[in-house]
Amino acid sequence: MIPEATTKTTYQLPIGPIHPALKEPVAFEFEIDGERIVDVNVSLGQVHRSVEWAGMRRNPIQILYLAERICGICSYCHPMAFALAVERVAGIEVPERADYLRVIQAELERICSHILWAGVAAHEIGFDSVLFLTWQMREKALDLTEYLTGNRVTKAITMIGGVRRDITKDMVPKVTETLNYFKDNFEKLRHIFLDDKTFKMRSQGVGILTKEDALRLCACGPTTRASGVKKDVRLDQPYFAFGDLDFDYVTPDVLTGEVNGDVYDRIIVRLLEVKQSIGLIEQCLDKMPAGDIVSEPKIPKLLATLKKAKGEGIGRMEAPRGEVFHYVKLDENEYPYSWKVRAPTYNNIMPWIPMLRGEQIADIPIVAASTDPCMSCTNRVAVVDNGKKYVLDKEELHRLSVEKTRRLMA
């Protein structure tokens, strides 16, 4: 609560700890003046799963699968960032082909995540037919993931020193077929998201994050790029084979010539990144050299090497939502000495405060969703008004958002 802020004209609106737009529960306390948000207080929620603690009791191979379960959508980035960190400590060199295979998986995950996000964002403003269209496309991405890795969500493709599965020649046609499907449908999606009046009304000028705020608050990923900050680990510090590929920073001025840092810009950035990812996978398939896919195929031997390793390392990777950061300290022991995981949403929480200030209650879902925190559902929202407490649930908040769209359409 913000006790000193309580006056006759404003009231407080706590949202959370389970919020519509967050996997890690977060609690908001809004100070509301009529319909406008005057001030926001964000406090992180209470579902801490002690993943790092559990990791101290497992060997690095076991941690790969634990890290995979940190997030269902970034189930590739987390183990891979961990593997990068461990490889740097132990001085393991990754074969060139594995570097390319890693890029393909990373970009496939980005396509999957961004399309999923696009659907959720559409749902937040009450445009459900777009939700079904995008998720139909996502289904294709999941089918391809299943084909390449063996499962739809938990991919289990990461291995320290490489990847576990190769893309053989006879698998390439299926990949290109799916990529062509994406290319055909991308134009449709771009047209709906960027030209449709409904989207423009709800997203332009809403949830603005200025470039300075993005830099000062250490935002990352598409959230910061939409504010015009050129920050993308794939380009800044090219890991895997990203240094060999031809691509550039995606900022909204590529398309519109200006940067506003609003929700609309974040939609532009994500959509253009889908297109960029399709191109990157194609480039990889062209350029991929032949060779090994893992530096040490014998896992007992690999474990013995890791047991002798000592030192500290960081693994940074551009996940769909921003930079994933893993810090690992090994200590000539079976289990790591220290492990720190930082998911992109961790840094994208602070920017919510300037984004939400001055907006309406009905804009909360779309603004919060625009940074792409993992989507779950608001359990309930309690509105405290003059000491009387009543509950506003997720449907109610969603209804408010849909009503606003209808109002604007009329």
6 binds other proteins (CB under 8 A): no
156 binds other proteins (CB under 8 A): yes
342 binds other proteins (CB under 8 A): yes
Instruction: Report the site for other proteins in 99-128 (rule: CB under 8 A).
Output: 99, 127
Minimum CB separation from other proteins for residue 219, in Å? 7
Separation CA 199–CA 206 (nearest Å)? 11
176 binds other proteins (CB under 8 A): no
Separation CA 130–CA 128 (nearest Å)? 5
138-143 long-range CB contacts below 8 Å, 24 or more apart?
A: 138/112, 140/178, 140/181, 140/182, 141/108, 141/111, 141/112, 141/115, 141/178, 141/182, 142/112, 143/178
Our CB check for other proteins shows the closer of 64 and 381 to be 64
Binds other proteins by CB under 8 A, chosen from 38, 40, 220, 375 = 220
Instruction: Report the site for other proteins in 295-324 (rule: CB under 8 A).
Output: 299-300, 303, 312-314, 316, 323
Contacts of 238 (CB under 8 A, 6+ apart): none
3-state class (DSSP) for residue 267: helix
- Stretch 17-56: interaction string toward other proteins, x if CB under 8 A: --------------------------xx-x-x-x-xxx--
Give the phi and the psi of residue 93 in degrees, each rounded to 5: -95, 135
Our CB check for other proteins shows the closer of 15 and 349 to be 349
- Count of residues of this chain found to bind other proteins when the rule CB under 8 A is applied: 85
Our CB check for other proteins shows the closer of 249 and 396 to be 249
150 binds other proteins (CB under 8 A): yes
Q: Which helix (H) or strand (E) holds 166?
A: none
Strands 338-342 and 36-44: unpaired
69 binds other proteins (CB under 8 A): yes
Our CB check for other proteins shows the closer of 218 and 392 to be 218
Separation CA 95–CA 289 (nearest Å)? 10
Q: Is the omega angle on the peptide bond into residue 17 within 30 degrees of 0, that is, cis?
A: yes
Minimum CB separation from other proteins for residue 386, in Å? 26
Q: Quote the tokens at residue 230.
A: 């050129």
Instruction: Report the site for other proteins in 178-207 (rule: CB under 8 A).
Output: 188, 191-192, 195-198
Instruction: Report the site for other proteins in 357-376 (rule: CB under 8 A).
Output: none
Interacting span for other proteins (CB under 8 A) from 59-67, 202-210, 271-279, 358-366:
59-67
Minimum CB separation from other proteins for residue 263, in Å? 18
5 binds other proteins (CB under 8 A): no
One-letter amino acid for residue 176 of the chain: T
Exposure letters 103-120 (e unless 16+ CB within 10 A, then b):
bbbbbbbbbbbbbbbbbb
Interacting span for other proteins (CB under 8 A) from 8-16, 110-118, 147-155, 270-278:
147-155
Minimum CB separation from other proteins for residue 220, in Å? 8
Our CB check for other proteins shows the closer of 285 and 392 to be 285
HSE of 89 in the Cβ direction (CA atoms, 13 Å)? Answer: 29
Name residue, tokens 């840092």.
261
Instruction: Report the site for other proteins in 223-242 (rule: CB under 8 A).
Output: 229-231, 233, 235-242
Can you say whether residue 385 is alpha, beta or left, with left for phi > 0 and alpha for psi between -120 and 50 degrees? beta
Our CB check for other proteins shows the closer of 361 and 366 to be 366
329 binds other proteins (CB under 8 A): yes
Q: Which helix (H) or strand (E) holds 291?
A: none
Q: Quote the tokens at residue 186.
A: 């991308």
Separation CA 266–CA 117 (nearest Å)? 11
Separation CA 289–CA 359 (nearest Å)? 51
Interacting span for other proteins (CB under 8 A) from 66-74, 110-118, 265-273, 389-397:
66-74
Minimum CB separation from other proteins for residue 104, in Å? 14
Binds other proteins by CB under 8 A, chosen from 346, 384, 394, 396 = 346
406 binds other proteins (CB under 8 A): no
Instruction: Report the site for other proteins in 373-392 (rule: CB under 8 A).
Output: none
Our CB check for other proteins shows the closer of 9 and 129 to be 129
